[in-house]
């Protein structure tokens, strides 16, 4: 039945609106006569009252219809619609006055009737439209009480556009309660009916006062530093956090604003601005033959993307895992459509003869060595595999680089190599020692450098994808310890800095250390993942502490005690001074390590690792 009624209303909409206007206008005219002369006046001038009322209503009806007043939808009416209504009313009154003066010559309509009836009729027609629009857009109902109470951060163009759209299409999920803005001139004012109650510093207090469920950041142009500051403040609350994208992009996409409200990316919490590569970094790559080992991994694939953007003579991707290698190959083929000279080879860096053959075939000028086993718990269970792949994969590639005259060899290292407490970290420290010792003993032209950084958000097997998977399953999220902290960096930023550090390396054997910013508590990261997914931590989604895993530290370090540090032109890149080592002794130890690794003698292997890396403490250390 309701659907049938709606169909009838839609079919006869114009007629219904016209009839409503005529009733309102007629009522306004008769009320004017009553207000001026009372009941006696109406009885005395009954004939002229009825005749002039008919003329008055006719003038309004004809002009309203002619000016298209019944073609637009009232609930979508903007300011221009109300101006049109006012202009049509003025035209109708002028027409009424002109015609009535010609027709009613003996008993003319009083001048006050012209003025007051016109004012009342115009006002009433405007009010009916405004009332209808407010009724349709507000939709006061029990369902409205269940909508999330939302605070807007920012009271500028983006917020204004959103509020306009929500006035047209009421959201069943959002109820905008208040706004905050750091502009002092906006304090105490309102934006389209929403009060601006304070600044971003007041967010925690206002959340409690106004019982806010969701914080919507409506400042698409925020830079990284201010975005991080605001997100840090919002993270002090239990609200879910969402963001409004750039309006210009939305217009280009042709999509409505409300539907484009998205969850905040956890990467935004790092407050990192994009890294712009200097000319030196592009010169390292442009028109060169570049190898990327482990090119299908998280870091390796992003290296391939950024290298391809610079324009190498040839990009050669080497990876043992064909699925990931195929994925990045197809991505680059789609993007460059034949403009990139790309080769992909499925091969293991452990295979000495295969690496030798690939270096001989392509004669690379720059090598980024990203191939490695990196998962700490898995490598604790298979230390011999970590040594075979990480240590001797690096050794094979470094020897090939020296043999075939590679200009620059860049090792991707990790902060876990500093005072390692796990096998993976110990093997990466030996990888650093390999490039330093080859650099120290080599008489060739190859420059060997290593780049050391912490965790990258979103990489395969890292904590962020794990949290998202656990969240998708309904929780709980698992954290090993409530106080454990890690350095984090986005993958694109890490790779950009790797390219820049690689270009900086002039003295062979240098270790570049990337500024990872402030360490982040893993439990805080877990809480923010929950909030930014629209849930409340510990209420909607729980966090469970599982205990430290074998070889896991409470926090990571980027430099060893004996390593000094020098600044570079980039404030985010530092150089750790190479340590003095006995090269002959090192290579002797390396041969012995290889022997025990391929014998799969785990106990002997662990003893040898501790000999080669004196800072290796394989116990779980709590700081």
Looking at the structure, do residues 506 and 389 belong to the same domain, yes or no?
A: yes
Does residue 112 belong to any structural domain of this protein? yes
Chosen domain end from 138, 165, 181: 138
Higher local confidence (pLDDT), 172 or 470: 470
Q: In what order do the strands lie in the sheet with 366-369?
A: 342-346, 314-319, 289-293, 366-369, 408-414, 447-453, 510-514, 573-576, 565-567
Same-domain pairing of 8 and 120:
yes
- Its pTM stands at 0.61
Q: Dmax of the chain from CA atoms? A: 126
Q: What is the pLDDT of residue 260?
A: 45
Question: Can you give the pLDDT at residue 3?
Answer: 43
Task: Say whether both 110 and 234 belong to one domain.
Answer: no
Q: Is the pLDDT of residue 613 over 50?
A: yes
Same domain, 223 and 367: no
Tell me the C-alpha distance between 130 and 136, whole Å: 10
Q: Is residue 8 part of a domain?
A: yes
Residues 298 and 229 in one domain: no
Are residues 21 and 132 both part of a single domain? yes
Residues 212 and 310 in one domain: no
Total domain count for the chain? 3
Cβ(313)–Cβ(342) below 8 Å: no
Specify whether the CB–CB gap between 242 and 174 falls below 8 A. no
Q: Do 63 and 153 belong together in one domain? A: no
Judgement on whether residues 321 and 352 belong to the same structural domain of the protein: yes
Catalytic residue numbers read 416
Q: pLDDT tens digits for 71-122?
A: 654 544 555 666 777 787 788 778 877 887 777 665 566 667 767 777 777 7
- 447 and 594 co-located in one domain: yes
| Percentage of residues of the chain with pLDDT beyond 90 | 26
Helix (H, G, I), strand (E, B) or coil at 473: coil
Q: What does the pLDDT average to over 239-267?
A: 56
Indicate whether 287 and 327 sit together in one domain: yes
With respect to residue 618, please indicate whether it lies within any of the assigned structural domains.
no
Query: Is 330 buried (19+), middle (13-18) or exposed (0-12) by CB count in 10 A?
Result: exposed
- Asked if residue 477 is part of any domain, the answer here is no
pLDDT of 528 over the 60 cut: yes
Does 529 reside within a domain? Answer: no
Report if residue 59 sits inside a domain.
Answer: yes
CATH no. for residue 229? Answer: 3.40.50.720
Q: Are the CB atoms for 374 and 424 separated by under 8 Å?
A: yes
Domain-terminating residue out of 264, 288, 308? 264
- Mapped onto helix, strand or coil, the DSSP state of residue 481 is coil
Domain-ending residue, one of 103, 138, 173: 138
What DSSP letter does each residue of 406-425 carry, written as one string? -SEEEEEEEGGGSS--SHHH
Q: Is the model more confident about 586 or about 240?
A: 586
If asked whether residues 94 and 168 sit together in one domain, one would say: no
Find residue 490's DSSP bridge partners: 457
Instruction: Examine residue 272 and state whether it is found in any structural domain, yes or no.
Output: no
> What percentage of the chain carries pLDDT values higher than 70?
75
Q: Is residue 469 part of a domain?
A: no
Question: Structural domain of residue 134, as residue ranges?
Answer: 2-138
């Amino acid at each position: 039945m309701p659907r049938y009624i709606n169909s009838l209303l839609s079919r006869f909409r114009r007629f219904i609106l016209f009839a409503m206007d005529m009733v309102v206008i007629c009522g306004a005219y008769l009320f004017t006569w009553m207000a001026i002369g009372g009941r006696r006046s109406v009885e005395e001038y009954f004939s002229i009252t009825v005749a002039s009322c008919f003329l008055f209503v006719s003038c309004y009806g004809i002009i309203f219809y002619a000016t298209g007043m019944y073609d637009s939808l009232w609930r979508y009416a903007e300011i221009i619609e109300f101006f049109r209504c006012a202009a049509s009313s003025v035209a109708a009154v002028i027409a009424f006055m002109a015609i009535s003066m010609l027709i009613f010559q003996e008993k003319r309509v009083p001048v006050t009737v012209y003025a007051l009836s016109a004012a009342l009729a115009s006002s009433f027609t405007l009010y009916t439209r405004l009332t209808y629009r407010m009724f349709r857009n507000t939709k006061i109902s029990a369902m409205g009480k269940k909508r999330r109470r939302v605070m807007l951060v920012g009271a500028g163009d983006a917020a204004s556009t959103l509020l306009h759209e929500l006035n047209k299409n009421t959201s069943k999920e959002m109820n905008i309660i208040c706004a905050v803005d750091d502009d002092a001139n906006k304090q105490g004012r309102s934006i389209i009916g929403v009060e601006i109650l304070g600044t971003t510093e007041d967010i925690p207090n206002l959340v409690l006062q106004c019982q806010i469920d969701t914080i919507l950041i409506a400042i698409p142009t925020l830079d990284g530093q201010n975005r991080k500051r605001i997100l840090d403040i919002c993270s002090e609350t239990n609200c879910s956090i969402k963001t409004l994208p750039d309006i210009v992009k939305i217009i280009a996409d042709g999509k409505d604003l409300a539907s484009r409200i998205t969850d905040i990316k956890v990467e935004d919490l790092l407050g990192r601005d994009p890294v712009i590569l200097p000319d030196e970094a592009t010169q390292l790559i442009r028109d060169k033959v570049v190898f990327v080992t482990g090119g299908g991994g998280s870091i390796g694939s992003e290296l391939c993307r950024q290298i391809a953007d610079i324009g190498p003579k040839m990009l050669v991707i080497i990876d043992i895992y064909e699925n990931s290698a195929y994925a990045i190959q197809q991505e680059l083929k789609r993007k460059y459509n034949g403009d990139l000279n790309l080769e992909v080879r499925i091969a293991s860096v452990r295979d000495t003869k295969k690496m030798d053959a690939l270096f001989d075939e392509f004669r690379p000028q720059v090598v980024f060595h990203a191939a490695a086993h990196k998962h700490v718990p898995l490598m604790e269970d298979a230390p011999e595999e970590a040594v075979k792949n990480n240590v001797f994969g690096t050794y094979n590639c470094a020897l090939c680089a020296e043999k075939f005259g590679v200009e620059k060899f860049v090792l991707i290292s990790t902060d876990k190599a500093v005072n390692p407490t796990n096998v993976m970290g110990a093997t990466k420290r030996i990888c650093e020692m390999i490039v330093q010792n080859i650099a120290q003993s080599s008489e060739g032209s190859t420059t060997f450098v290593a780049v050391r950084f912490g965790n990258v958000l979103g990489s395969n097997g890292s904590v962020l994808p794990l949290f998202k998977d656990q969240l998708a399953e309904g929780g709980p999220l698992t954290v090993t310890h409530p106080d454990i902290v890690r350095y984090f960096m986005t993958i694109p930023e890490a790779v950009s800095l790797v390219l820049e550090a690689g270009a900086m390396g002039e003295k062979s054997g240098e270790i570049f250390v990337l500024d990872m910013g402030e360490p982040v508590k893993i439990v805080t990261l877990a809480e923010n993942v929950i909030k930014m997914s629209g849930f409340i931590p510990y209420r909607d989604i729980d966090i469970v502490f599982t205990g430290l895993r074998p070889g896991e530290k409470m926090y990571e370090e980027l430099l060893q005690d004996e390593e000094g540090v020098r600044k570079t032109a980039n404030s985010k890149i530092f150089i750790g001074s190479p340590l003095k080592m006995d090269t002959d002794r090192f290579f002797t130890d390396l041969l012995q390590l290889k022997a025990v690794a391929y014998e799969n003698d785990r106990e002997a292997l662990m003893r040898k690792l501790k000999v080669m890396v004196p800072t290796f403490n394989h116990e779980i250390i709590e700081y």
